[in-house]
Structure 1
Amino acid sequence: MDRHQHPSNNAVLGAPKGWDQAEAPCNALPVTHVEIDGIRQVVSFWHPTADELKAIANGALVMLWVVGNTMPPVALTVEAKP
């Protein structure tokens, strides 16, 4: 998937401190910081590639990868279009 610069973006995340770019490149990620019901959240936006859209349409699963030993609270959603 390709990261997307969304009009709501108000920050950019870089690689974590101490990240070894030679071992695994970590590019800047535009994000939007929001607070909903008193809970601070960070949102990033992604465009599936044409091949990924075909795979999803054919029943492929979407995978969420998190670096580390545990899974923080996360959500995958689809942007609501007016």
Structure 2
Amino acid sequence: MQKIQHTSNNGVLGAPVGWNLADLPCNALPITRTHVGDLPAVLSYWRPDADELAALNAGGAVRLWVVGATMPPVMLDVDGTS
């Protein structure tokens, strides 16, 4: 999937401090800082390509990768407005 710019984006995340780009690339990610109720949240928007859409339509699943030893609270959904 390709990250995309969204009209709600109001920030950009870069690689974490000390990240070794030679080991694993980490490019700038456009984000939207917002809230879910009283909790701060960060959104990023992604668009599947034709092959990924075909795989999803054939029953494939969306896979979320988080680098590290644990996973923070995350959500996945579909934004039909972008």
* Structure 1 SS opposite 2:66: coil
When the two structures are aligned, how many residues end up with a matched partner?
A: 81
TM-score relative to the length of structure 2: 0.95
Deviation at 1:50, TM superposition (A): 0.5
Structure 1 runs, 4 residues or longer, greater than 4 Å off: none
Deviation at 1:62, TM superposition (A): 0.8
TM-score relative to the length of structure 1: 0.95
Q: Does 1:56 align with 2:60?
A: no
Instruction: Provide the alpha-carbon RMSD of the alignment.
Output: 0.8
CA distance in 2 between partners of 1:35 and 1:78 (Å): 17
Gaps of 5+ in 2: none
1:16-27, aligned counterparts within 5 Å? 16-27=16-27
Deviation at 1:49, TM superposition (A): 0.7
Deviation at 1:20, TM superposition (A): 0.5
CA distance in 2 between partners of 1:72 and 1:36 (Å): 15
Q: Does 1:74 align with 2:74?
A: yes
Residue type at the aligned position of 1:57:
N
Q: Which residue of 1 aligns with 2:37?
A: 37
CA distance in 2 between partners of 1:55 and 1:35 (Å): 32
* Structure 2 SS opposite 1:77: coil
